Homo-oligomer: A and B are copies of this chain.
């Protein structure tokens, strides 16, 4: 999940989510970065509306709760 947070962090900072930026953030956290995972992340995010995905999180907890309730 740390790769995802790196992407969110960059997005929030108004930076482009590209391979070198993700790598830099993860390295700064002292993480041994897996280059393929960075590539895969950046490729998967291509064309994704990050702002939209973020805004969905505000609605989500209710659904989580609903799903958890009868369990």
Question: Which residues of A are in contact with B by a Cβ distance under 8 Å?
Answer: 1-2, 5-6, 8-10, 12-13, 15, 21, 24-31, 34-41, 43-44, 53, 56-71
- Given A24-B28, A28-B25, are A71 and B61 also a contact pair (CB < 8 Å)? no
| CB pair A59 B63 closer than 8 Å | yes
Q: Which residue of B36, B53, B59 contacts A57 across the interface (Cβ within 8 Å)?
A: B59
Contacts of A8 in B (CB 8 A): 1-2, 5
In the bound complex, CA of A38 to CA of B37 (Å): 9
| CB pair B24 A10 closer than 8 Å | no
In the bound complex, CA of A1 to CA of B51 (Å): 13
Among A6, A25, A26, which residue has the most Cβ atoms of chain B within 10 A? A25
